[in-house]
Each structure stands twice: as C-alpha cells, then as structure tokens.
Amino acid sequence: MRHYLSVVFCLLSYALYGQLEDKNVTVYTIDEKVKIDGVLDEIWEEIPSASPFWQYAPNDSIPAQLKTEMKFAADENTLYIVAICYAESDQYVIPSLQRDFRAGGNDNFTILIDPFNDRINAFMFGTNPKGVQREGLVSGGGADFSNFSTSWDNKWLCDAKIYEDRWICELAIPLSILRFNADVKTWRINAYRFDTQINERSTWVRIPRNQRIINLAFMGEMNWQEAPVSKQKKYSIIPYAATGASVDYEGNGEWKQTYGIGGDAKVRVSSGLNLDLTANPDFSQVEVDQQVTNLSRFEIFFPERRQFFLENADLFSAYGAGNANPFFSRRIGISKDTMTGENLLNTIYGGARLSGKVNEKLRIGALNMVTASDPSANTAGYNFNVLSSQYKFWKRSNIGFIAVNKDALINRSFDAQDRYNRVVGMDLNIATSDNKWTSKTYIHRSISESINEGTPWAHGFDLSYLTRALNLRWEHQYVGSGYDAQVGFVPRTGFYRMQPRADLFFYQPDKQLNRLNPSISFFGLYNEQFQLTDREIRVGLDLDYVNTSRISFRLQHNYIFLFDSWDPTGTGSIELPGENAFSFTNAEIQFNSNRTKNLNTRATVTVGEYYTGMRYGIRGSVNYRVQPYVNLFLNYAYNVFDMPYLEDLRSTIVFGPRVNVSFTKKIFLNTALQFNSQVQNSNLNIRFQYRFAPVSDLFIVYTDNYFTDIDSGSPNIIQLEERNRAIVLKCSYWL
C-alpha cells in the first residue's frame, strides 16, 4: 500500500511542479584523515546522508526499491565519498577484480562529477562490493555512450566491505586529479547504482528512461562548506623502462633485443588546465583490438586506447561525424609503407598536450607530436599539431573551432606523400536543458600540398527530438571528393548523405517484457552529381526484458551501385564487375541474454539475399565466469556466401577466445587468441600485469603472429606460417 501511495505522491508532485525537487548535498569540511576501508568508524555518523534514489529501470516513476545513501566530506587535499547500498542478501554479481569493469551486469555504485557546471563534461568514479575501481570521462553531455570512456586512469583510492544487508564503499579522490575553478563552491553531480539482485538501476537525480543514465542534463548540486583549493604538487612524473626481444620471420628471421626508457609528465598549469608531456612513449602494454569481419568496402574504426591521448580527448576528436572526423589520434604512430601499402608502426619521439578549462565558458586544447621517418619504407617523419577551442553558451550548448596540421620534417619529397596536410573547421552543438532537442552542425575544409580534384569541404547537420515515447532524428552530410583529412578518419569521400530515423517507445513497468521499441530508418547516399549510389531501408523491433535480456529484429532492403569491381565475400574471390547496381533484402535477429548470470551470451543471426546470391551469418560472444577470479570469453563471427558466379561456397571466420584471470585486485593475467580468415592472420597475446602501486605497473607481454591459410581443397586443414614474435617487459611508476 505504501508503495502505491508513494507512486501517487510522486506523480502528483510532477504534475504540479513540472519536475521533481532540485537535489543538493553538502560537502562537509573535516580536519582528520579518513581511512579507506568500507568501515564507517570515523566522522561519518555526524554527516547527514543524501537520499533517496529514484528508479531508472525497469520503471522511472517510482523511488528505488532498496535504499542507497551518500555522504560527502573533504579536507584540504581530498574529496571523500561514502555510499551505503542496501540489498536483499550478501550475494552480488562481481565478474572480475580487474579495474575499469563495465557497469552492465555488475553490482556497482558510480558517481559523476561536473566541477565546472557546464553540463557537457564530467569525471566518473565508481566501485563494486569488492572495492574494484572504475573511472572514466564523460563528454558531449553524456547524451550517448560513445561520449563515455573508461580508458582514462588516475591516482585515487577506494575500498568496500560487504555486510549482511548492505555493502559500503569509500572513495578518496585527490583534488589534484580534478579540474575545477578554485573560487566556485557549487559543483554538479549525479550518482547511479546497479542492483543485480532485483535487476534495478537507480539514480540520485531522476532521469527519464528515454535518456542515457550518464546524461549530464540531469544532475543535482554538491555544495562545499569551503571552496576547494588543491595544495597537492603541481606535477607528476611517470617514467618507464622497457626491454624485450623480437623476431621477424618474414625478414631475416633473427632475434633482436630492444631497450627503451621514456615517460610521461603531468603539469597542473592551473586548477582547470593540464599539460601532458611524453618522451619516447611505449604502448606495448596496450590491449589488442578485437578483430572483426569487414564486409564493407571501407576502413573500420577502432577506438584509441593509449593513455596519453585520452584526458579531454573530446576537445580533439569530437569534431565532425564518425565518418568525417578531422582528427583521429591513432594516425599518430602509424605510417603507410609507400611500396607495399601496408600500415606500419613508426616511432614517436615525443609530444606535448595542453587541455582543459580556462574558465567556466572556455575550454582549449593544443597538441604537438613528432614521429620518426623510416627510409626502408620510404615514409617521412612528421610533426603533428592540433589547436582546439570550445566556448559554452546557454546551459548545454557550445561552439568549437579546430585546426589540424601535419608537416613533413624534411624537405625532400617521398613518393605519394604530401609535405603538409591541414584541416580547419567549426562545430556548433546545441542542446536544451532537458535534452529533448539536440543538434550538431559542422563545416570543415582541408588544405593539402597536392591539388585534389573536387571540393575540399565537409559539412554535416544532425537534429534529434527525444521524448519518453518518441525519438525523431534527421541527419544529412556532404563530404567533397577533394576533402583530404590525412590525420582524420574519413573512409569515404565524394558523397551526399541523408538519414532520417523514427523510434517509438512503449513501456510495461510491471511486466517481464519491459519495453518495446519499433523503429524505421532510411539511409541514402548520393554522389556529387546527386546520383543514388547506396540506399538502405530498415525496420526494426527491440524487446527489452526486466532481467536485462533483449531480443531485436531487423528487416532491411539495400541498393548498392558498384563503381569499381569488388569481391563482396571478402575472401579474395572473383570480383563483381563495376558499373553495376544490386538490390537485395535480408533479415537479422539478435539475442542478448541476462548479463547477471554466470553464463551469458550474445548472438546475431543474418539470413537473406546478398548482391547476386545469399549470405548466412552468425556472430556474437559467449561469456562464462567463475566470479570474481576467472572470465572466459569467446567472440566469433562466421559467414557463408552462396554466390552463383562462384564455383563453390565461400566463408569467413573470426574466432577469438580470451581468458582473463584476476588473482587479486593488483595481479592479472589476460590471454587472447584471435584467428581471422579474412586477413589470413592468427595472433596470440598474453599480458601479465602487476599493479604494485596506484597507476604504477609491471607488464610482461608476449605476442605471436602467424600467417594463416585455410586449404580450399581441405577446409579442415589450417596452414600456419610464422610471421613475427615478441616478448616485452615494461615497468612504469607514478612519482
């Protein structure tokens, strides 16, 4: 009865006042140090709690079923946060002890902190009942999960303790790792909790189900008793030493020893600005990309994972669109062999990056990196420069300017390479305070030494209207055939694109089938003479269940005009002739199981017409955990092509088992084996990590690559040929 009375009261309040009450919490100034152990035996009993939390899913109109309380305190150097998470039992889902776990399918508490009150950028800190840390950065207002990254690491502490009916976590966040205006006593915050025991997601400030749980439009106030002033050191030094051995079997086949020293430094220029420096950086410990099957005619995007490029990354990489981005940091440290066309790693000598807030309105970014030349591959060394500024207006809108420059370090020409390449541009991002309306407009121009035929301009516009029951979106884009962004990600040029989409949302809060989402979208691509080259019409239906599982259906009709000959199977088979049009229809069903179970899976089955024939495919993953110590993963993709113009069937296989072992919260062993028939490559990567101090690590990384070929006459026979092998030992320490 009380449950229904609370629902009636909340709905009546919303009807009368248009929104729930503004929430605020006080950060109490303390003099004593807090022991971070999940035991509230210091000053915490004297500090009032911030409560209650609101349910976000499966229902966004009622208070959370199980209570969550927060408390805040601070001394002159550190912000302390406590969360008391009540539960039905002491059994939780904790898949791993490894840092930066994803929130879905885990019990966790996470807090978002917006020190500059700009509603566009925030720091994220979280933990689970075992005290495992997760931290990240939110950009772009958090309107989409693409605006969220957990690759950013920093030096802070947390711990947690499990009790019979609750778990308690304590977080200690040094003010020196936060960027803030020292004269401001009010910050914006929100927090969310995932409770797997009752499959509930809840937030401190109520967020409608149609919005992302990380959306920064919905936040409360954190009021400091005394304005924070960081008295920590103004710099940090993170040196590293590495040694290793490698052999290239495609070269001379001899083992070669390598040694390296270098490091990073962080200099706090002001409370809002940070200067990152790097010398002879080494990224051998970075996790390998997950291989995928590429059935498109264009390059696939892989996200940046290198720590140096991540803080305030949106200042550099959030311009343009996903397929017309003027700056893609992974271009730095990668060159192309002008004789073979293959991508090669090339040495980065060093660089500097200044980024952050000048004041509450203005953010700036400046980057300079220098890479080495490689005469054996006929590639030049380059100096990369990026300048960016972003000015906020209204509550959640901004205008940004970017300039990207790439200059060869030597005067003599290299084959098929420009001595310089530049892009300048402007982006305008507008969002209403409730995120109901959002839009983005950009216009960019490239400047190169060589004169390319076609227009060197790129332009795009994106408008979205989002309510609880409806999402309408319009996108259009133009990328000229002369638009040459060599440091960006632009897989295709010379087109106009328009892409409208409509979604409907139907909620059933008290049913196992919690939400239905039918949708329809249109994708049209035209060349610069406005002739249709690509079209996709898609209808879909998503079924979301209370237990976090999902079933999705897609039916799509495609039209593609091939200007050049191309092999649609991606197997090196006979190519379809160019100057031909193809229409085909296929269907897709996707199933995601309950992620809170020890065994969970994701599978997508595709069946239907494909160019002149048929395609049958399945892709997905299987995950089994022995929590919290062992996680077993299997990623897979298998496609069969029945094409009449080929004598027999063709297929592609991606097979990727992984084993992640968490011995403790400091010692990890990750093993990944990847086999990709499309690129005829198999790769083994074994990474041992010992975190002996905060953000200080010892890595041992072993990699083994093979050229792989499946015998077409005997498909059960896989031929392996050694390509290269390496082992690296690296130690870094945050001073």
Asked whether the CA dihedral 543, 302, 338, 684 is positive or negative, the reply is negative
pLDDT at 1: 41
Count of CA atoms in the C-beta half-sphere (13 A) of 193: 31
496 domain-assigned = no
Together in a domain, 212 and 305 = no
Instruction: Give pLDDT tens digits for 590-616.
Output: 999 999 999 999 999 999 999 999 999
pLDDT at 342: 61
274 domain-assigned = no
The structure tokens listed for 453 are 């035929």
Domain end (from 171, 201, 224): 224
Instruction: Give pLDDT tens digits for 680-706.
Output: 889 999 999 999 998 899 999 999 999
Distance CA(368)–CA(347), nearest Å, equals 15
Distance CA(13)–CA(22), nearest Å, equals 12
Together in a domain, 220 and 318 = no
Distance CA(332)–CA(386), nearest Å, equals 12
Distance CA(542)–CA(591), nearest Å, equals 10
Together in a domain, 186 and 52 = yes
H/E stretch holding 9: helix 2-17
For the cut 90, the answer to whether the pLDDT of residue 202 exceeds it is yes
Give the percent of the chain with pLDDT over 70: 93
> What is the separation of C-alpha 284 from the centre of its chain, rounded to a whole number of angstroms?
20
The structure tokens listed for 249 are 């079997």
Identify the CATH number of the domain in which residue 57 sits.
Answer: 2.60.40.1190
Judged on CB neighbours under 10 Å (0-12, 13-18, 19+), 240 is: buried
244 domain-assigned = no
At residue 376's C-alpha, the angle toward residues 348 and 283, to 5°, is 25
Distance CA(302)–CA(657), nearest Å, equals 19
72 domain-assigned = yes
Could you tell me the residue range of the domain that residue 12 belongs to? 2-224
Q: Are 625 and 96 in contact (CB under 8 A)?
A: yes
pLDDT band for position 82 (cuts 50, 70, 90): very high
pLDDT at 715: 53
Together in a domain, 159 and 22 = yes
Identify the weakest region by mean pLDDT among 82-91, 410-419, 445-454. Answer: 410-419
Together in a domain, 305 and 178 = no
Distance CA(611)–CA(634), nearest Å, equals 30
Neighbours of 568 (CB within 10 A): 22
563 domain-assigned = no
Number of domains in the chain: 2
534 domain-assigned = no
For the cut 60, the answer to whether the pLDDT of residue 412 exceeds it is no
Q: Which region, left, alpha or beta, applies to residue 352 given φ > 0 means left and ψ of -120 to 50 means alpha?
A: beta
The structure tokens listed for 399 are 């205008």
φ, ψ for residue 125, nearest 5 deg: -135, 140
Q: Which region, left, alpha or beta, applies to residue 76 given φ > 0 means left and ψ of -120 to 50 means alpha?
A: alpha
Beta-bridge mates of residue 172: 80, 157
Together in a domain, 71 and 158 = yes
Q: Which residue intervals of 639-679 are DSSP H helices? A: none
The structure tokens listed for 23 are 């929430």
pLDDT band for position 11 (cuts 50, 70, 90): very low
pLDDT at 380: 82
Together in a domain, 303 and 193 = no
Instruction: Give pLDDT tens digits for 273-326.
Output: 889 999 998 887 777 777 777 878 788 877 787 878 877 888 999 999 999 999
Q: Are 296 and 332 in contact (CB under 8 A)?
A: no
Q: Are 177 and 79 in contact (CB under 8 A)?
A: no
For the cut 80, the answer to whether the pLDDT of residue 410 exceeds it is no
Neighbours of 598 (CB within 10 A): 11
**Cα end-to-end distance, the chain, whole Å:** 58
Together in a domain, 100 and 197 = yes
Instruction: Give pLDDT tens digits for 19-44.
Output: 445 899 999 999 988 999 999 987 89
Task: Compute the radius of gyration of the chain from its Cα atoms.
Answer: 27
Together in a domain, 75 and 169 = yes
> What pairing do the DSSP bridges indicate for beta strands 506-507 and 501-504?
unpaired
Beta-bridge mates of residue 636: 620, 655
Together in a domain, 368 and 465 = yes
For the cut 50, the answer to whether the pLDDT of residue 7 exceeds it is no
| Owner of token pair 């035991």 | 39
Average pLDDT over the chain, rounded to an integer:
89
Determine the average pLDDT of the residues in 420-444: 95
For the cut 60, the answer to whether the pLDDT of residue 416 exceeds it is no
Determine the average pLDDT of the residues in 167-174: 96
DSSP secondary structure code for residue 316 in this structure: H
245 domain-assigned = no
361 domain-assigned = yes
Give the percent of the chain with pLDDT over 90: 68
